[in-house]
Every structure is written in structure tokens, then in C-alpha cells.
Structure 1
Amino acid sequence: MMTFLLKRKIPWGEGLSVLFAFAIYYIGFSLFSISITKPIGWLEYFAIVLFIVGCVLNSGGEILRNNWKTKPENKGKLYTGGFFKYSRHINYFGDILWVTAYAIITGNIWALSIPLMLFCFFAFYNAPMLDNYLKEKYGKEFENYEAKTKMLIPFIY
């Protein structure tokens, strides 16, 4: 989906960071969930809801933004609507939620290190890198958006 919806050139660092993140997800969760034997309970149902919410925020946010950007009257404008009115990087927050859901499903406390690493990765590398790009591209329009919209976690951070 990343290469379909993005209308900009993806720098090598960003592309490699996505590969790195997916390697951590799939290898890490495979290792952490090797010995799941307990029945499904309320925590697992919570994780399923968390997974769905995360997917909706990530993919839904990207689809809404893509639909908006394809309209000629929006060409060259910064998208601040849909889920992005709650967080500048709501798609990353969605990723953190669905990855946290996977961690919960494993039943292994150490699996929570994966969404924590992902949060740090997004908060201290990917989001600031993208914010710098957006500042250069949209200038004052982005600065106004940045001043009133949290970076990653809606209403919090």
C-alpha cells in the first residue's frame, strides 16, 4: 500500500526502515508466540478490537487522504482532515495499535518490547523525518498544523 498511495519519492532510509519494521514484526512475534496454549479470553478479544482499530486508523487514514489528494482542487495542499486531524502521523499510531494487539495475543510480556521499539522508531526517527519534509514542502501551512495537532498519539503526544 505504501508505494501505491504515496505520491512522493521514497528515500532509501525510509524504505529500509519499513523493511526493518516488518522484519521485527514477523520474526519477533513468531518467536514470542511459539508456545501459546491457553484459551481465548477477554484480553485476546480486546487485542482483536485493538487490531481492527489500528488497521482502520492506518489504512483508512491513508485511503481517505488518497481520495482527498486525487481531487484537482486539492493539488499542492496539505491534508489535515479525516483521522489526520487528531494526529499528524495517525497511520503510525494505527501501526502501533495493531502491533500491540499482536503482542497481547502472544501472551508473552516480552512481546510488548516490539510495539515499544516501534513507538520509539516512529517518535524519534520516522515522524521527525517526515515532519521536516512536510515543513519544506508546505511551509507555514504545516507549521500551523504542527502547532495545533499532536505528532503521534491523538491528544497526548
Structure 2
Amino acid sequence: MQETATSGVTQLTAINTAKILTSVILITCGFYFGVQDLRQVLYLCLHLSYCSWWLLEQWLYPLRRQQIFTEPAGSGEFMVLLLMVGLFYALPGFLAFTNPEPLSLITVAIALPLYIFGNLFNACADTQKLTAKQYGAGLVQDGIWRFSRNVNYFGDLLRYVSFSIVAGSPWAYLVPVTILLLYLQRIAQKEKAMAEKYEDYAAYQKSSTRLIPFIW
């Protein structure tokens, strides 16, 4: 029997709940394991600020809630998203709190720019597309979108890579690798749908990269 979605519950509702769960897990790790080093301080600042911004952005730009993850979510899908986005995505945080090695300044120098530029790419891309759609634009292919057809995904990946770098464990990279695989699947579906929707999408494909600006 096909599972029906709970009335009013969308994928975005599940993801928002998962972001709150991630925040609770990270704060719990802070109390349980304690903050022993700059590693834990930096990780909390980065990941909690990201989760807070994810929720705050929807309050600042209510139209976003009508544009992203609007598909209904049944109870099964809700739990999968909650466990994956809420629990699994907190893995680097757990590893950061259980890592006894002190955080080096080189690691900070690598992770912080990745996080900052990841946020900038993601926020600029989302804001530009949101504004363009408000004014009835069709295919958005200028501004930051002229460099990559999925520059928002690229920014998101940079952000999660920065979390893994701060965590300082090879296991932490399971999260960005998993996200990359999910995005590649989503990109393949999106490319096909966009090509059918916009006549000029083929030209846009030739003038831009699929994910990583100037590379691929």
C-alpha cells in the first residue's frame, strides 16, 4: 500500500526539523564531551551558524519556502530525512568533539575560507535566483550563475568539506561525499528537466560548467 503524506508536511518541514536536531546534537556534544580546544569552539561556531542561517533565511525570504523541497513527505520519508540530515550530518561534529589532537593554524587557514566562500556562493546564488523569479525571470544564467549551473550546490559542498577539515578525521568526509553523490543524482535529473523547459538551456550548458566553476 502506498504511503500517504501527512497533511501540510513537506520535505522542507523535515529538513528544518533535522537542522534543529543537528543543533541539539552538537550542543549536547559540547556539554557531554566538553570544549577542550579551538577545534570544538570553531566547529560549533561554523555548524551552528549554518543551521541558524538555514532557518533564518526562510524567515527573511518567505518565498523560499514555496520554492525549495515543496514535495509532500510521508512519515517514512520524514524519518529518513531526519536521520540523515539531522543525525548523519552531525557526524563531523561528534568526531570533532572526540578528537584529542589540537587544531593547527594551517587547518584553520584552510577551513575558514572554504566555509566563508561556500556560504557566499550559496547565499548569493539563492538570493539572485529568488529575486529574479520574483520579477518573472525565466532561465537565470547571469551573475554568479554564469560560472556554474549548480553554483549553490558547489557552495554547499565547500561548507561541508570545511566541517570535515575541522573535525580532523577521515570518517568525517563521509558526509560531503554522500552529499556529492546525492547532488550528482539531482543534477542529472535537473539537467534533463531544464533542457525540456528552456529552449536556451543548451547554449547555457555550453557556456557554463556543471558544478565546479571553470573546471567541471
Q: TM-score range by the shorter chain?
A: 0.7 to 0.9
Q: Is the 8 A contact 2:157 2:176 kept in 1?
A: yes
Match of 1:153 in 2: 212
1:20 Cα deviation from its structure 2 partner: 6.7
Q: What is the alpha-carbon distance in structure 2 between the residues aligned to residue 92 and residue 120 of structure 1?
A: 11
Q: 2:93 aligns with which of 30, 44, 52?
A: 30
Q: What is the alpha-carbon distance in structure 1 between the residues aligned to residue 208 and residue 81 of structure 2?
A: 24
1:8 Cα deviation from its structure 2 partner: 7.2
Map 1:51-70 to 2 at 5 A. 51-70=115-134
Q: What is the alpha-carbon distance in structure 2 between the residues aligned to residue 95 and residue 112 of structure 1?
A: 14
SS at match of 1:154: coil
SS at match of 2:144: helix
> Measured at CA, do residues 118 and 45 of structure 1 come closer, stay the same or move farther in structure 2, by a change above 3 Å?
same
Question: Is the radius of gyration larger for structure 1 or structure 2?
Answer: 2
1:10 Cα deviation from its structure 2 partner: 3.4
Match of 1:134 in 2: 194
Q: Is the 8 A contact 1:58 1:94 kept in 2?
A: yes
Q: What is the count of residue pairs matched by the alignment? A: 150
Map 1:4-153 to 2 at 5 A. 4-5=63-64, 7=67, 10-11=70-71, 22-23=85-86, 24-26=88-90, 28-37=91-100, 38-71=102-135, 75-123=136-184, 125-138=185-198, 140-153=199-212
> Measured at CA, do residues 155 and 80 of structure 1 come closer, stay the same or move farther in structure 2, by a change above 3 Å?
same
Name segments (4+ residues, structure 1) moved above 6 Å: 15-18
Q: Is the 8 A contact 1:54 1:95 kept in 2?
A: yes
Identity %: 21
Q: Is the 8 A contact 1:65 1:82 kept in 2?
A: no
CA RMSD of aligned residues (A): 2.7
Can you give the 5+ residue segments of structure 1 that lack an aligned partner in the other structure? Answer: none
Structure having greater relative contact order (Cα 8 Å, sep ≥ 6):
1
Q: Is the 8 A contact 1:87 1:151 kept in 2?
A: yes
Q: What is the alpha-carbon distance in structure 2 between the residues aligned to residue 131 and residue 25 of structure 1?
A: 26
